[in-house]
Amino acid sequence: MVARNRLTLHSPLAEFLRRKPVTVMPDALLREVVALMAAEKVGSVVVVEPESGRPMGIFTLRDLLHKVALHGLDLDTMILSLISDSHLILLNWRAKAYQAEMLLARHGIHHLIVVDAAGRLVGVISQSDILDVQRGNAKALSMTIREARDMHVLEMAADEAQQVAKRMLSEGAAAEQVMQTLSTLNDLLVMRVVELTRRDFTLPPVPWCWLAFGSEGRFEQTLATDQDNGLLFDCKPEEVEATRQAFLPFAAVVNDRLDTCGFPLCKGNIMASNPELCLSLAEWRQRFADWMRSGDAQAMLNAVIFFDFRPLYGQEALAEALHLGLQKSVPQEGLFLRFMAETALKARPPLGLIRDFVFDDDKDFPNTLDLKAFGSRLFVDAARILALAHGVSETSTIERLRTLVRRGALVGEDVEAMVDGFLFIQKLRLLHQRENLPSGAENRIDPDQLNELDRAVLKMALKQSKKLQDVLQLAYHL
């Protein structure tokens, strides 16, 4: 059993479960259920089918207040009648804590039922369970964002999210924890902006989903980030263009409001307000297929950005359908993966044979290292290609590497040393970004300004990126 203080937002839900769920049959009376909750000292009970034991719904203390006390219901009411109108939301026990956080926020609920691969009940996860792995200021801010009623509150919350991350860095928090906290707060902000904006529009009555790409899609956001998003919808072929045109004004307002919250508009126009990124499911599938078969430089750049997508708001099933299709098709595209590997290997770690480090030709910031382009990106790109080649669904770099080990795709490599190297570079980036830096300098450091230990560790971290690139080079005979 994992100690509570070692749980993170990337921990699987199975590690959060500390007791068996309390269950009742659908014919149980309300008085019996309330007495059971008091005796077991729990805030929820799961109503299960008599024969299969599969969950039918959940009854919580919140339901006791809003459905029972406020309406003066008789205590001899059958519990089934109190859950019949509730939307049953289940989450696999291998899902990560941050996924539970997003579902709880998206549906405005406080408990989720956790099941195993066969759909059998294994436990209940609560909002407080997830908040407990976040630091105090992040907990309070998460609640503020969830309950925000206007953009002014969200704008202030966005600034506070940056301050929370900076305080965590000052307190010595690890890079993984800071990135997870910042990414979660940013996710909640985006979701709430989308939700508030949705109320101002009459959107098409079709399934749709807001997508995050790039670092947000990988759950690896730092203090310096812009917008990378898109929109996915599903409708009849003859309705696609009209549906797109109906979504675009909504997406434009969301993008503008995110800009006011400190997420700058993407200079490359990788935003949902771009008609080329507001697509039907069939169009997204075709777009990915075109990128995989074109083999040109722009296709490789698109692959770097868009293959790290993750749903943030709306019908997750649409994004899951897109993911599953890619998991099956991409491993068959050997030439595309080879092209991606060739592109990735063009960026090499800035290590010298004589000097510790070598510098690029940046005239604005001479004698500096770009820790994004020639640091963290080396790990990100290699992990992405290997994950795509082996049908790994995870989008975060760390989870991709660890999953590859579990599947036997990385054998004999000290992957945890690679993870540590990646996280050290991310920590240097975060510490550097705390300062008020000119545009273009957010990821550039002067190694001469580092202390002797950090210089040595940075050199070792970059060597780990080279080891990972060597795996890629060997896999594709480059």
pLDDT digit string (tens) for 331-361?
Answer: 999 999 999 999 999 999 999 877 789 998 8
- What is each CA distance from 302 to 308, 382, 407, in whole angstroms? 10, 15, 27
pLDDT > 90: what percent of the chain? 59
Domain of residue 245: give its range.
136-325
Token pair recorded at residue 64: 């006791």
Taken in order 113, 114, 119, 122, is the CA torsion positive or negative?
Answer: negative
Backbone angles phi, psi at 17, to 5 degrees: -80, 120
Separation CA 442–CA 432 (nearest Å): 7
Extended strands (E) in 298-425: 310-314, 369-370
Number of domains composing the chain: 3
- AA letter at 221: Q
Do both 179 and 258 map to the same domain? Answer: yes
Separation CA 251–CA 283 (nearest Å): 18
Residue 3 has what pLDDT? 55
Strands 208-212 and 111-115: unpaired
Strands 310-314 and 208-212: antiparallel
Q: Which of 296, 325, 354 is the last residue of a domain?
A: 325
DSSP per-residue codes, 337-370: HHHHHHHHTTS---B-SSSSB-----SSSTT-EE
Separation CA 423–CA 465 (nearest Å): 11
Separation CA 359–CA 350 (nearest Å): 7
Q: Which burial class, exposed, middle or buried, applies to 164 when counting CB atoms under 10 A from its CB (0-12, 13-18, 19+)?
A: buried
The answer on pLDDT for 384 being more than 60 is yes
Computed on alpha carbons and rounded to an integer, the radius of gyration of the chain in Å comes to 24
In a domain, 255, yes or no: yes
Cβ contact 331:389 at 8 Å: yes
Choose between 41 and 282: higher pLDDT.
Answer: 282
In a domain, 102, yes or no: no
In a domain, 240, yes or no: yes
Confidence band, pLDDT 50/70/90 cuts, at residue 462: very high
Average pLDDT, the chain: 89
Q: Which residues pair with 101 in a beta bridge?
A: none
Residue 110 has what pLDDT? 82
Do both 184 and 285 map to the same domain? Answer: yes
Q: Looking at residues 227-231, what average pLDDT do you find?
A: 96
Among 48-62, 86-100, 187-201, top mean pLDDT goes to: 187-201
Separation CA 400–CA 406 (nearest Å): 10
Q: Which residues pair with 47 in a beta bridge?
A: 24, 57
Do both 72 and 18 map to the same domain? Answer: yes
In a domain, 161, yes or no: yes
Choose between 316 and 71: higher pLDDT.
Answer: 316
The answer on pLDDT for 71 being more than 90 is no
Among the listed ranges 129-133, 197-201, 300-304, 333-337, which one has the minimum average pLDDT value? 129-133
Separation CA 137–CA 182 (nearest Å): 12
Please give the DSSP secondary-structure letter assigned to residue 316. H
Q: Which CATH number characterizes residue 280's domain?
A: 3.30.460.10
Residue 1 has what pLDDT? 47
Do both 141 and 279 map to the same domain? Answer: yes
The answer on pLDDT for 65 being more than 90 is no
Residue 135 has what pLDDT? 61
Separation CA 118–CA 177 (nearest Å): 32
Do both 156 and 114 map to the same domain? Answer: no
pLDDT > 70: what percent of the chain? 96
Q: Looking at residues 396-411, what average pLDDT do you find?
A: 91
Confidence band, pLDDT 50/70/90 cuts, at residue 243: very high
Cβ contact 111:58 at 8 Å: yes
Among 137-141, 194-198, 223-227, top mean pLDDT goes to: 194-198
Q: Looking at residues 53-72, what average pLDDT do you find?
A: 81
In a domain, 12, yes or no: yes
Q: Which CATH number characterizes residue 114's domain?
A: 3.10.580.10
Residue 30 has what pLDDT? 87
Do both 300 and 439 map to the same domain? Answer: no
Confidence band, pLDDT 50/70/90 cuts, at residue 234: very high
Residue 390 has what pLDDT? 95
For residue range 83-117, list pLDDT tens digits in order. 755 567 888 888 888 888 878 877 778 888 999 88
Q: Which residues pair with 137 in a beta bridge?
A: none
Do both 427 and 373 map to the same domain? Answer: yes
Residue 97 has what pLDDT? 85
Please provide the distance, in angstroms rounded to a whole number, between the alpha carbons at the two ends of the chain.
Answer: 43
Separation CA 251–CA 134 (nearest Å): 31
Separation CA 221–CA 181 (nearest Å): 9
Altogether, the residues listed in the chain come to a count of 478
Among the listed ranges 2-6, 181-185, 397-401, 439-443, which one has the minimum average pLDDT value? 2-6
pTM above 0.75, yes or no: yes
Token pair recorded at residue 10: 């990337």
**Which ranges in 79-148 belong to alpha helices (H)?**
80-83, 97-107, 127-131, 136-147
Separation CA 223–CA 148 (nearest Å): 22
The answer on pLDDT for 440 being more than 90 is no
Do both 47 and 30 map to the same domain? Answer: yes
- AA letter at 422: F
Q: Which of 325, 356, 387 is the last residue of a domain?
A: 325
Separation CA 225–CA 265 (nearest Å): 10
Do both 120 and 180 map to the same domain? Answer: no
Residue for token digits 């205590």?
75
Do both 143 and 267 map to the same domain? Answer: yes
Token pair recorded at residue 419: 């993870």
Choose between 10 and 25: higher pLDDT.
Answer: 25
Residue 2 has what pLDDT? 52
In a domain, 355, yes or no: yes
Q: Which of 325, 349, 372 is the last residue of a domain?
A: 325
Q: Which burial class, exposed, middle or buried, applies to 211 when counting CB atoms under 10 A from its CB (0-12, 13-18, 19+)?
A: buried
Do both 386 and 456 map to the same domain? Answer: yes
The answer on pLDDT for 130 being more than 90 is no
Do both 306 and 349 map to the same domain? Answer: no
Separation CA 325–CA 141 (nearest Å): 37
Residue 120 has what pLDDT? 85
Among the listed ranges 27-41, 120-134, 174-188, which one has the minimum average pLDDT value? 120-134
In a domain, 105, yes or no: no
Residue 5 has what pLDDT? 57
Q: Looking at residues 136-156, what average pLDDT do you find?
A: 87
In a domain, 88, yes or no: yes
- Single out the residue of 173, 181, 254, 188 nearest to residue 219, CA to CA: 181
Token pair recorded at residue 238: 């003859």
